[in-house]
Amino acid sequence: MSLQDYRKKRDFSRTREPAPERSARAGRAIFVVQLHHASRRHFDFRLQVGDVLRSWAVPKGPSYDPKVKRLAVEVEDHPVSYADFEGDIEHGYGKGHVDTFDRGVWSTAGDVEAQLAKGHLSFELFGERLKGAWHLVRSGKKERQPAWFLIKAEDAYASDVEADDLLDNTMRESTRRAAKTPATKAAAKKSTASRRAVPKGRRVPLATLTKAAAAIKGVKKGKPSADYFAPQLAKLRDTPPQGELWLHEVKWDGYRILAGVAKGAVSLWSRNALPWNDRLPEIVQAVEALGLDSARLDGELIAVDAQGRSDFNALQKTLAGEAQAPLVYMLFDMPFLQGYDLSRTALAERKALLERVLAHAPSHLGYSGHNLGDGDAVFAMAMKEKLEGIVSKRVDGAYHSGRNDDWLKIKRLEADEFAVVGYTAAKGSRVAFGSLLLAKPGTRGRWTYVGRVGTGFTDEMLRELGASLAKGGAKTPPVPLDGIDPLLRGALWVKPTVVAEVYYRGIGNHQLLRQPSLKALRIDKAPNDLRDSDRATEPAKPARKKTVAKDEITITHPDRVVYPDDGVTKQDVADYYKAVMPWFLPPVADRPMPMLRCPGGIGEHCFFQKHVIAGLHHVGTAKLKEETGAQAVYLYPKDEAGLLELVQFGAIEFHPWGSHVKTPDAADRVIFDLDPGDNVAWKRVVAAARMVRDFLKQLGLTSFVRTTGGKGLHVVVPLAPAADWDTVRSFARGFAEALAQAHPLEFVATAAKKVRGGKIYLDYLRNGRGATAVASYSLRARAGAPVAVPVRWEDLGKLKSGADFTIHTVPKRLARQKKDPWDGIDAVQQSLDDVVERLGL
């Protein structure tokens, strides 16, 4: 279901509910449960997936009893802003009062859309009332609205508590009156106990832990505090220390988190003293479940992948709300416990006690184990498993804030060879250049940017490279280069002639090298030696499936309906563009190309996007001057992967410039848009296009024609050599005005609607720097999924409208087509110079 359904069911001039405007919500993906007193009282259960709340109506509310299957009827998606809605719906659909029953964050170990498509979503909730693991399982029955079952998993939170048992004085009076009041003192007691939501399970008795802490050598009584404490830090070292006085732990790839407990209350802190309770409710709940009175805990927050390794990218995406990966707090130290200061005790003693504390801990808490001695073998294991590295610690070391020699970090170093494709300017005392820009071989002769290296150079290297490689350079890459950071300032680009061997510590976000440093310049190799010839020359094959194997472009929400009246889905749109790619891509490649994005389908909010946005990795970017004189980073397609990535981002229509990114001020197209006014028959539009063709022919100009997917036609004039925009605009305007004067009953050259009735507007405004026109074979965001299609002049009379071709018919037409209707357009040699001079423009 979609936000289109949400919009159709509501009159926003009468309801207080939020309009379905899509907007990003910062932070973790949320869940919300709302108690809705409509014609039939029910609970609305909502999970944020991307930029919508996937929603189910649960008549009897969630049950903590795993044996109880609660019916959950899938309803339309709601905007994320609906999570904040409370109050009365006074008119129409859903009339009644809405209260917030619970809200929090949620996580799942798998891909959300894949699980929903399969009919079984397993997830965890971290709210005030709803906690632990749950399942949504689709019913096998065919219903008008998809029916699911909401089921509590067997875990430490499972009990006989029902949703109504959780209602209390924090709810509105209207909700409390409507709730089922506990009939007995026992039921009331059950309700009160359940609201504390303390999980069942074994714990190490506090008396046992307190006694163990007091017995450690060097311990002192201390004052409990949940305030921030400065953590102990590790120094970087190339190799592990030797001997039995050192223990060696896995270096987890995540965020350092400090936990303080005082009087049972938990406070989480980032390494730089920022409070993190709101961002990590599952960790707060897990630490609370230990039942400690006071403690200080130190560890690393990680997201765990399918192989049980920490996944830094998944962690970043989950904290940003782009994913719902399970998070784990891996604990490796405990400088305080149950009123005792352990910071001066030996690390081995602290860790042994920490392991006892975590003996029956919830799954979101982990113990970071270690090996005693033999650091080389531990590091070799970390290398084999491709972990980030290890941390070596003195067995008898105390816990000291700050960096010292008691903790050492040895990171995994990988090495590979890359071509140097540019450099940044030197700053401060640095000579020659700041850093070298690196790339790896891509497909079809392209290169892919992987980051920059600015360390590891000797003074001699800096001088030599400054006098040779880092000299001159261009503001745009002289070779096809993918994945450039649009915020890279002041870079100068060169042709790849030098190979650099670089150390790095894994691949970070946006597929860039992490902490690269120069190992050597490979004078024995050339950049083309880096290419895997089989891989580099293999042609890309369109695949009628969710991903493009080479570039891993995944179409998420493939079943989302883009054209609601026609049932055309997002996957259908992607499949269409794959099918027409050989015809669609060549004319638009390397042109600045604004796109019309409709993330929720054509019935939702659609908008033009011309500048690069976060998350795009396969499109090209070019810094171009705008009409205001300021510069902006524009996007443009380079290959199939880039086009499909734009489709993944909700692009439907594509509107390229009449020039290329390398020559933005040189136009190689003139486009006349024939836009018929009201009551203009299609035959008149066809006749008008032929008239435009004939007048152009009299001027010595060859032209081509295409449908627009709307009411009109485009007449396109190729230019070779290209012309400057002032010349093109002057010619287009003069031609349109001359034709309107010669045939005033047919044409008008002004956009004013009051003079366009019954006439055809000859729109020449498509011919200016930054102006655009719809691309050939582009879909249009209109009912019926029409397509703009090039046709032969002799076939124009066979058409019934400018929207004759659709997403369904174009691929079949191309399969039958023996020759491109615009065959030879790129071979036409014609210039405006003589025409402009002859017309006196």
Cα 117 off chain centre by: 20
Please tell me the distance from the alpha carbon of residue 212 to that of residue 209, in angstroms, as a whole number.
Answer: 5
Cβ contacts of 39 within 8 Å, gap of 6 or more:
95, 96
For residue 779, list its beta bridge partners: 787
In the block, tokens 């359940």 appear at: 194
Q: Are 269 and 318 in contact (CB under 8 A)?
A: no
Written as six digits, the tokens of 720 are 């070779």
Tell me which of 60, 152, 223, 251 is the catalytic residue: 251
Q: Please report, for residues 440, 450, 534, 671, the alpha-carbon distance to residue 540 in angstroms, rounded to integers and kept in the order given.
A: 18, 22, 12, 32
> Catalytic site residue 69?
no
Maximum pairwise Cα distance, the chain: 104
For 382-389, the CB contacts below 8 A with 24+ separation are: 382/250, 382/251, 382/412, 383/412, 385/309, 386/309, 386/412, 386/506, 387/250, 387/251, 387/253, 387/309, 387/310, 387/412, 388/251, 388/252, 388/253, 388/310, 388/412, 388/505, 388/506, 389/251, 389/505
Please report the DSSP string for 188-222 in residue order: HHHHHHHHH-PPP-----HHHHHHHHHTSTT-EE-
Give the residue among 603, 619, 347, 365 at the shortest CA–CA distance from 481.
619
Query: Kindly report the CA angle at 391 between 516 and 364, in degrees rounded to 5?
Result: 100
Q: How many residues does the chain have?
A: 841
Q: How many CA atoms lie within 13 A of 827 on its CB side?
A: 3
Q: Are 281 and 214 in contact (CB under 8 A)?
A: no
Please tell me the distance from the alpha carbon of residue 612 to that of residue 600, in angstroms, as a whole number.
Answer: 20
- 225, burial (CB in 10 Å: exposed 0-12, middle 13-18, buried 19+): middle
Q: Please report, for residues 199, 674, 711, 814, the alpha-carbon distance to residue 801 in angstroms, rounded to integers and kept in the order given.
A: 67, 13, 7, 19
Written as six digits, the tokens of 606 are 């659609």
Residues belonging to the active site: 251
